[in-house]
């Protein structure tokens, strides 16, 4: 109406509903894929990749949260990392599993000269991830899928909704369930 100077009084598309787009992913890592991923990352010349993968699968942290971690954020005694600013604009404290804290201690031994846990840019990490996926032969695994995998694993370990939400930082339970994809095989074993 404005650009073509049409004398319409109403928008004819005003009551037309937009189609809903279902862009949810339920991509989980299979045991075989996880084996391949960790085999290939062990032969990777980029030493930060292995600890980042471990943190992603153990904590359900986002890529940006992992890459922006500072050593001062890690409480080595209580096994908790404090994320001062997360995607939703709030602070979050994430518990670290035994595997995650052990891996961080090992990695930190050789990197005592830095304030950041990982001194890598997002772009460098993205390129390294793409090369790793190519070496693994994975076509459809995104780094963010590891957050879905970790969230699902937290539920499979028996944590309740509130516990998982406090770890992942989800404020809306509906969004948390979007990240949770229990394996039918695991549920069958519980039955």
The residues that bridge with 75 in the sheet, in sequence order, are: 80
Q: Which of 27, 79, 144, 181 is catalytic?
A: 144
Pick from 22, 21, 26: nearest CA to 145:
26
134 is annotated as an active-site residue: no
What are residue 171's phi and psi, to 5 degrees?
-95, -20
147 is annotated as an active-site residue: yes
The residues that bridge with 82 in the sheet, in sequence order, are: 93
Q: Which of 40, 48, 62, 153 is catalytic?
A: 62
How far is the C-alpha of 42 from the C-alpha of 31, rounded, in Å?
Answer: 17
Cα end-to-end distance, the chain, whole Å: 61
170 is annotated as an active-site residue: yes
87 is annotated as an active-site residue: yes
Q: Which of 92, 148, 153, 179 is catalytic?
A: 179
50 is annotated as an active-site residue: no
CA angle 30, 33, 39 (to 5 degrees): 140
User: CA-CA distances (angstroms) from residue 184 to 99, 181, 190?
Assistant: 26, 9, 10
CA angle 64, 70, 75 (to 5 degrees): 115
Q: Which of 40, 92, 147, 153 is catalytic?
A: 147
27 is annotated as an active-site residue: no
Q: In which order are the strands placed within the sheet that holds 74-75?
A: 74-75, 80-83, 92-95
Q: Which of 87, 99, 105, 126 is catalytic?
A: 87
What are the tokens at 6?
């049409």
Q: Which of 40, 92, 153, 170 is catalytic?
A: 170
Residues catalogued as catalytic: 62, 87, 144, 147, 170, 179
């Amino acid at each position: 109406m404005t650009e073509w100077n049409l004398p319409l009084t109403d928008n004819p598309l005003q009551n037309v509903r937009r189609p809903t787009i279902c862009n949810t992913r339920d991509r989980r890592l299979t045991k075989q894929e996880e084996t391949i991923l960790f085999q290939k990352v062990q032969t990777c010349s980029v030493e930060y990749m292995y600890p980042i993968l471990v943190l992603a699968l153990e904590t359900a942290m986002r890529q940006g949260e992992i890459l922006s971690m500072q050593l001062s954020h890690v409480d080595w005694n209580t096994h908790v990392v404090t994320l001062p600013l997360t995607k939703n604009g709030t602070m979050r404290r994430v518990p670290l599993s035994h595997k995650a804290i052990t891996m961080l201690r090992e990695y930190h031994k050789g990197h005592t000269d830095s304030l950041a846990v990982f001194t890598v840019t997002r772009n460098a990490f993205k390129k390294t991830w793409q090369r790793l996926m190519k070496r693994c032969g994975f076509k459809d695994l995104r780094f963010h899928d590891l957050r879905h995998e970790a969230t699902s694993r937290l539920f499979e370990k028996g944590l309740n909704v509130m516990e998982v939400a406090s770890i992942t930082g989800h404020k809306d339970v509906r969004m948390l369930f979007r990240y949770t994809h229990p394996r039918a095989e695991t549920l069958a074993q519980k039955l």
